[in-house]
Amino acid sequence: MYQLNTKQWLSSLLLASVSLSLSVQATAQSSGQTDGKAATSLTSLFTDRFAHANTDLCAGVPTHQDNLLIKKLRKPPFMKRYREPAFGTTVMRITDSRPNEVYKPLYSTIQAWNADESMLILFHRTENDASHLILDGTTYEVLRRLDIEPADLEEVFWSHTDPDKFYYVNKYSKGIGEFREYSYKADSHRVIRKFEQICGARGVPTAGGDVHQQSLDDDLFGFRCRVNNSDWSMFSYQRSTDTVITRAMGEDRSPWHPWAAPTPAPSGKRFWLQGAVVDTDLQTVNRKLDMNKDSEHSSTGQTHDGQDALYQVAFGASPRGCDGGRDKGIGHLVEHNLETGECRTIIGESGGYPYPTSGTHISARAYKAPGWVALSSIGYEQDELLTGKRKAPVLYSEIYLANSDPDNGEICRVAQHRSYGKNAKNGNYNPYFGEPHVTISPSGTRLLFGSDWHDSGSVDTYVVELPAYRRHQ
């Protein structure tokens, strides 16, 4: 089959955009609206969405595979950019934690920045309190402490289309279970939908499991809930039509386990659910993906040419061999095309990389630079390898980036995060909070990660500004 390369694909999309813009303008003119605002708005939306699709995010960042020493260093200064010692990238510690305090990204699969990257959200925990914070997306100064209690600390979903808004399910006793929209400008919450007929009066819908985001048009969401501590149900919600589709969950009621909710694909045309691609009716299984274990860390995203995909770390071989690939579906990064079912290892042993490192998380949320994927890995033996006693394997304790385009593939090493993660012992907090959970920005030009920094007793958040990043871009 003939396939377009990235430049051809972008050109075809731009031509389609211009054609559609002209069509909108012609319609506006025929109805007496001659100012062309509709066409201009549509073109601006399109060009913004794909503004970074042809940017080489690895430009100026090392791509070698050398084993390196990780020297024990003092925590970098607060709010001052520094040169990352191993790879020369620009990094900044944007929070200033005290002992036992945590500032962290929500999760790798959840977008930290809003649509235009003017704001970002973090989770903050002290020994007595926990909350979400909104920071300036460029200066990283705290703008607001949010009065929200979402279904889970990770489940706060920035709009992909409106920089002012995010969505969440309320867990406060007043208005419990309400699906809400929050406006930063108005500092107000609006109830979009209540789901008590599905979840009961006290039920709280949740995305559950390895949580992912809504469709890119902010129209399709997926949830699950348990009614009266009894049966589980999963359901989808489409905002444009106010439509809810409900299906049973649980081994005695359906083939679906209750640990994870259906995840909308970026296009909104299908769901990813426990190893399968399911139609929007939440019933028709279009295909089973060729993966060893569907519960490994993963992230929904897009391929380099805009198709729906799931990016996953895999520690075991795919049952059908991952389309004959030399790695058989094992790797730090494996791409599963949700539209075609194709499987491909991107970072694997056949490419000179080690067997997948433990604690690998994936972020494919760069929807303005489709096909670019950020990863963070942790590993074991911190007392040996994070103190410079011997060289660490490639990707150990690292933040790294991959271009999944098979014609322009590259992998670059961005930073050493120096976090013990679940092996930390010195902080009075859940050590899980110290996992880096790298999160890529919509443009792909910045990476956010958390670190306990050599088990320092607290967790801070750091931002990597890649060479492709331009402030106030």
| pLDDT for res 51 | 58
Res 42 pLDDT > 60: no
pLDDT above 90 as % of the chain: 84
Res 26 pLDDT > 50: no
Mean pLDDT value across the chain: 90
Asked whether residue 312 falls in the same domain as residue 339, the answer is yes
Q: Do strands 130-136 and 142-146 pair parallel, antiparallel, or not at all (unpaired)?
A: antiparallel
Two tokens, residue 127: 């020994």
Residue bearing tokens 């955009």: 17
* Cα 302 to Cα 321: distance, rounded to the nearest angstrom: 22
| pLDDT for res 41 | 39
Q: Domain with 392 in it: what CATH number?
A: 2.130.10.10
| pLDDT for res 54 | 79
Task: Give mean pLDDT, residues 413-433.
Answer: 97
Amino acid identity for residue 148 in this structure: I
Measured in degrees and rounded to the nearest 5, phi and psi for residue 383 equal -65, -25
Domain total for the chain?
2
Res 448 pLDDT > 70: yes
Res 356 pLDDT > 60: yes
Task: Give mean pLDDT, residues 153-165.
Answer: 98
Task: Give mean pLDDT, residues 41-68.
Answer: 75
Res 24 pLDDT > 80: no
- Considering the domain boundaries, does residue 211 fall inside one? yes
Res 110 pLDDT > 90: yes
Res 34 pLDDT > 50: no
Task: Give mean pLDDT, residues 124-131.
Answer: 96
Of residues 203, 196, 164, the one with CA closest to residue 181 = 164
391 in Cβ contact with 67 (< 8 Å): yes
Please spell the DSSP secondary structure of 67-82, one letter per residue. Answer: -B-----PPPPBT--E
- Considering the domain boundaries, does residue 65 fall inside one? yes
Res 383 pLDDT > 80: yes
Domain that holds residue 40: 9-28+36-50
Asked whether residue 23 falls in the same domain as residue 159, the answer is no
| pLDDT for res 53 | 64
- Considering the domain boundaries, does residue 452 fall inside one? yes
Please spell the DSSP secondary structure of 338-368, one letter per residue. Answer: TTT--EEEEE-GGGTPPSPPTT-EEE---TT
* Cα 356 to Cα 313: distance, rounded to the nearest angstrom: 7
Asked whether residue 24 falls in the same domain as residue 99, the answer is no
Banded model confidence at residue 13, pLDDT cuts 50, 70, 90:
very low
- Considering the domain boundaries, does residue 329 fall inside one? yes
Asked whether residue 295 falls in the same domain as residue 410, the answer is yes
Residue-wise over 63-102: b if at least 16 C-beta within 10 A, else e?
eeeeebebeeeebbeeeeeeebebbebbbbbbbebeeebb
| pLDDT for res 227 | 83
- Residue 297 has what DSSP assignment? S
Banded model confidence at residue 32, pLDDT cuts 50, 70, 90:
very low
Res 454 pLDDT > 90: yes
Res 317 pLDDT > 50: yes
- Considering the domain boundaries, does residue 376 fall inside one? yes
| pLDDT for res 83 | 97
| pLDDT for res 208 | 78
Asked whether residue 276 falls in the same domain as residue 257, the answer is yes
Contacts of 84 (CB under 8 A, 6+ apart): 90, 91, 414, 415, 416, 464
Asked whether residue 119 falls in the same domain as residue 142, the answer is yes
Q: What is the end-to-end Cα distance of the chain in Å, rounded?
A: 38
| pLDDT for res 228 | 74
Of residues 46, 25, 37, the one with CA closest to residue 161 = 46
Asked whether residue 199 falls in the same domain as residue 251, the answer is yes
Res 25 pLDDT > 80: no
Q: Is 320 exposed, middle or buried (0-12, 13-18, 19+ CB in 10 A)?
A: middle
| pLDDT for res 4 | 42
Coil vs helix vs strand at 62: coil
Residues forming beta bridges with residue 92, ordered by sequence position? 463
Coil vs helix vs strand at 36: coil
| pLDDT for res 50 | 55
| pLDDT for res 473 | 47
Banded model confidence at residue 77, pLDDT cuts 50, 70, 90:
very high
Q: Do strands 446-451 and 439-440 pair parallel, antiparallel, or not at all (unpaired)?
A: antiparallel
Task: Give mean pLDDT, residues 314-343.
Answer: 98
- Considering the domain boundaries, does residue 206 fall inside one? yes
- Considering the domain boundaries, does residue 1 fall inside one? no
Banded model confidence at residue 49, pLDDT cuts 50, 70, 90:
low
Say which residue, 7 or 284, is predicted with more confidence: 284
Banded model confidence at residue 215, pLDDT cuts 50, 70, 90:
very high
187 in Cβ contact with 171 (< 8 Å): no
Task: Give mean pLDDT, residues 211-218.
Answer: 96
Two tokens, residue 278: 């399911």
* Cα 218 to Cα 199: distance, rounded to the nearest angstrom: 22
* Cα 120 to Cα 114: distance, rounded to the nearest angstrom: 6
Banded model confidence at residue 52, pLDDT cuts 50, 70, 90:
low
Asked whether residue 196 falls in the same domain as residue 272, the answer is yes
Asked whether residue 280 falls in the same domain as residue 169, the answer is yes
Say which residue, 470 or 331, is predicted with more confidence: 331
Asked whether residue 88 falls in the same domain as residue 166, the answer is yes
Banded model confidence at residue 16, pLDDT cuts 50, 70, 90:
very low
Asked whether residue 129 falls in the same domain as residue 21, the answer is no
Asked whether residue 17 falls in the same domain as residue 56, the answer is no
- Considering the domain boundaries, does residue 2 fall inside one? no
Please spell the DSSP secondary structure of 221-289, one letter per residue. Answer: EEEEEESTTS-EEEEEEETTTTEEEEEEESTTTSS--TTS--EE-TTSS-EEETTEEE-TTSS-EEEE-
